[in-house]
Structure 1
Amino acid sequence: MSAGLPWPEAYTVSGDDCATRMPLGHSAPLAEAVRDLAELGYDGVEVQVRETGAHHAETLARTVGAAGLKVYGIGTGPVAAHDRLTLTDPSPDVRRHALARLLGAARLAGELGVPVSLGQTRGTFLPGLAGMQRVWAERAVEQLAEEAAERGSRLLLEPQSRANTSLWHTPAEALAVIDSLDVPAGLVLDTHHLDAEGVDAVRAVTDLAAVTGCLQLANASTRGPLTVGDPRLPELLTALRTGGFTGWLTLEHSQDGDSTKAAARSWTALAEAASALS
């Protein structure tokens, strides 16, 4: 694996179906982004999609594979970020549209043989509707998890800060949801969201490494690229190794105006942290 790590190292990219590039991922079009990341030493990408379905799997795999990289996961952030579609919108049509997009992403993930993740598309509560909105979200997540499982994928639920969503802010809350499902599912842990909710990231990773499919990394203070010498990085990597983590790492952070430099800084920081473990 790259950077001397025992797990694949991926970078966030936007699918060609996205209206604009996601700000926490590579700023270039997909084909250009994967070539750049391959030259830097990354193993693959986590692709954020907006409305791509199973019929796009071959094209996506070919584009990423042409650079010698792999798709490790399908993200669904653009469904809400670009089109404002959520599972808790008061409008039934909007909720149906949001779920349809997510189901399409699950089918795409199944064709690729990778997990599909859910974050902010679960939405936010409105006064007086919280109870009903929670029910809508829980039912939709159950459908999404079942669709993913049927298609050979797996749902990964990401605890996110209350700035993004009204639902499932902590790993414990997200874990309760996946434990209630009748199909296998897992977690995405994001150091930014853990920090924002006052959750000790190293402790969370230590406790939940076995059920975590992906760890998303960013600089703790700026949510920018990782920094060489960050003392928390070796601690996180040790926690992953100790906990039996078998997933992948994704760099999901701001680009500081230059994605090549941002990706290179993060790759170098992880390589330095990995060397401290050996």
Structure 2
Amino acid sequence: MPLGFAAPPAEAVRQLAELGYDGVEVQVRETGAHAAEELTRTVEAAGLKVLGIGTGPVCAQDRLTLTDPSPDVRRHALFRLLGAARLAGELGVPVTLGQTRGTFLPGLEDMQRLWAERAVQQLAEEAADRGSRLLLEPQSRANTSLWHAPGEALAFIDSLDAPAGLVLDTHHLDAEGVDVVRAVTELAAVTGCLQLASPSTRGPLTIGDPRLPALFNALREGGFTGWLTLEHTQDGDSPKAAARSWTALTDAANAHF
């Protein structure tokens, strides 16, 4: 994954622990509850925790989406997502959904929206039944045709028959012209994860980023209880990228608190 730490899991968690990170969000492509024990053992050996299960590779690597015109592709996509939800449930953490919901084709928009809504309802129910919780990520229209703005995503999860929350990503919010600090201020209580990157490049965070203290304040005052994910380009050196972001975060936190 171009936005993830580029190393085998055991090496990645060891290096992240040495930098001071508390946990990891694990992006999965094809797996299920059976992987929980090995994953937990690998991550906890470094003193970290698995905080969430992401599903980006289902679409990013295999092009499987919930709105594909092919019924077999849609079934396969949902099968993968349900496996991720079962893994998340076994670990007792949320499962996130981003671009795997897909994009619309001319003339199929209404049907594709219905396919996506039904599938996400099923995913939310599966997650809840397994002791997990679905977190839906508003993403830019460059990635998907559904739920671009936080308000759209919130309205949809409020319609579900299972508990769900949001993932907010500073890159996607910027791309949609949404004020990041305002969105976090308003939605901190229903946000399970905040994904961070530098504003223009989507690279590692930089010291002195003026948004970081404001975001910390918004999260604290809004009752945020989730986790922060550094989801950004790695610039060819994941340890260095992770260190840069960690330094920027701790500098902002120390200055704010």
The answer, yes or no, to whether TM exceeds 0.5 is yes
* 1:212 aligned partner, one-letter code: T
Query: Could you give the per-residue CA deviations for residues 215-271 of structure 1, whole angstroms, max 9, x where no partner exists?
Result: 000000110000001111101111101111111101000001100000000000000
Counterpart in 1 of 2:132? 153
1:133 aligns with 112
Residue of structure 1 equivalent to 2:230:
251
Letter in 1 for 2:97: L
1:152 Cα deviation from its structure 2 partner: 0.1
| 1:73 Cα deviation from its structure 2 partner | 0.2
Report percent identity of matched pairs.
85
1:81 aligned onto 2:60: yes
Partners of 2:31 and 2:49 in 1: how far apart?
17
Scaled by the length of structure 2, what TM-score is found? 0.99
**Which secondary structure does the structure 1 equivalent of 2:5 belong to?**
coil
Query: Secondary structure at 1:167's aligned position in 2?
Result: coil
- The one-letter code matched in structure 2 to 1:31 is A
Residue deviations 1:142-200 (CA, integer Å, cap 9, x gap) = 00000000000000000000010000001001001100011110000000000000000
What residue identity is the alignment partner of 1:126? L
Find the aligned partners of 1:275 and 1:265 in 2 and give their Cα distance: 15
Q: Distance in 1 between matches of 2:10 and 2:146?
A: 34
Alignment root-mean-square deviation, CA: 0.5
Q: Deviations over 1:196-222 (max 9, x none)?
A: 000000000000000000000000011
Q: Which runs of 5+ in 1 are unaligned?
A: 1-21
TM value normalised by structure 1? 0.92
Query: How many equivalent residue pairs?
Result: 257
Structure 1 residue 276: Cα displacement: 1.4
Structure-1 separation of matches of 2:163 and 2:146: 20
**Which segments of 5 or more consecutive residues in structure 2 lack a partner in the other structure?**
none
Which of these residues, 264, 269, 274, is aligned with residue 243 of structure 2?
A: 264
SS at match of 2:173: helix
Q: Which position in structure 2 is the counterpart of 1:275?
A: 254
- 1:175 corresponds to 2:154: yes
Residue number in structure 2 paired with 1:71: 50
In the TM superposition, structure 1's runs of 4+ consecutive aligned residues that sit over 4 Å from their partners are: none
Matching residue of 2:79: 100
Instruction: State how far apart, in whole Å, the 2-side matches of 1:40 and 1:196 are.
Output: 30
Cα deviation for residue 29 of structure 1 reads 1.1
Partner of 2:180: 201
Among 123, 148, 152, the alignment partner of 2:102 is 123
- In structure 2, how many angstroms separate the alpha carbons of the residues matched to 1:65 and 1:266? 22
- Amino acid in the other structure paired with 1:61: T
Report deviation, 1:23: 0.3
Distance in 1 (CA, whole Å) between partners of 2:225 and 2:33 is 25
**Counterpart position of 1:4:** none
Pairing 1:10-25 to 2, within 5 Å after superposition: 22-25=1-4
- Tell whether 2:29 aligns with 1:45: no
